[in-house]
Structure 1
Amino acid sequence: MKLLGISGTIIGAKTGIVVRKVLDEVKKKHPDIEVELLDMMEYDVQFCDGRDPSTYSEDTKTVIEKVSNADFYIIGTPIFQGSFPGVLKNLFDLIHPDAFRNKVMGFVANGGTYQHFLVIENQLKPIAGYFRAFVAPSYVYANYDHFNKENEIVDADLLQRIALLAEEVVHMHRSLNGSPVKVMDES
């Protein structure tokens, strides 16, 4: 069982920090789950142009393979100009819709204003619906105020929402795939 965290940006650190924190929560409470971070900053991905996926560069093929082979996802994005960046949109375009079908997605986002959380509701969730993916009811939105100057998460409520999202995606994935669901002690 593999959870793939995706940091869908090539600029900034906060998106990757929040995605990693969700993955760390999963690892801590569910050591049986394999987790991996796909940080788009580490890959030189070509633009999707509709060609056969085998003809893309090695980095692009690697990213397509990692996303396609995962069992469920934490997808993170910064919010710029009231939308998510082209890096993440390009990634969605590269992946065959069947790769996401009936898989669980949890979303995290970060931005400069508190209103940008609406991008999750109005843009990311509809894309997940197009893919016929299952979306965790909770999501995490982080504002610049939730971090200190060293980009460490310092907001207790945000940390609690991260832990809740981690539990939800695991619970949903296991429930939908017939795995035993083990409720974790909240203490």
Structure 2
Amino acid sequence: MARSNRLKILILSASTGGTKTKRITTTFYNLMKESYKTEHDIRYLNIQDKKIQFSDGRNYLDYSGDTLEVASAIMESDVIMFGAPIFQASIPAALKNLFDLLPVRAFDRKVIGLIITGGSLRHYLVPETQIKPIIHYMHGVIIPKYVYAIDTDFNTDGTVNDEIELRLQTLLDDTISISETYKEVWNKQDDMFGF
């Protein structure tokens, strides 16, 4: 049985404050729509527009409203691009709460990418030491490279500079190539076992 290689892609801005994470993830979303809107289903969510409950250990399906919407969008996606800021040399509580709302194997057979903003170059390794281990634990396939942007990577009008836009385009192309390859392999495995 032939399966669709169409990807469900979610770009999620996981910041409750500020504008840089929203701006850079919106730029990524627009680049993706320009390149792949007819080939894949692409969705953008910004948790600044949502009222997300704190995780209390329930199954994500037992939540309601925005919390259920965001958790379900994550669970239904093949590819998730998390955008998040770095605060106090650590991941933001909003992103950790999203992870806590989900089951342990939430990222199984999902490709995960990262777009990170920070106030200093000193924190560019925080995703390596704090975010990637969580994604691995939740069984995600991580895009090896991520985009890290600081204040000077944004123009005075709020747009990202050319270097960051080029890096976003590279991340986008890598994400699609890796995701399509994994989807094809997983579909073949499912067909082989009759799933």
Q: TM-score scaled to structure 1, two decimals?
A: 0.90
Map of 1:168 onto structure 2? 174
- Of 46, 51, 74, the residue aligned with 2:81 is 74
Contact 2:84 2:92 in 1 (8 A): yes
Q: Share of identical aligned residues, percent? A: 33
1:103-130 superposed Cα distances (whole Å, 9 cap, x missing partner)? 1111011111012111111111111110
SS of structure 2 residue aligned to 1:109: strand
CA separation of 1:160 and 1:54: change in aligned 2, threshold 3 A: closer
User: Runs in 1 of length 4+ with deviation above 4 angstroms?
Assistant: none
Structural RMSD (CA)? 1.4
- Of 1, 6, 10, the residue aligned with 1:4 is 10
Map of 2:65 onto structure 1? 58
Map of 2:96 onto structure 1? 89
Q: Identify unmatched segments of 5+ residues in structure 1.
A: 180-187
Counterpart mapping for 1:35-184 below 5 A: 35-154=42-161, 156-178=162-184
SS of structure 2 residue aligned to 1:98: coil
Map of 1:22 onto structure 2? 28
Which amino acid is 1:86 matched to? Answer: A
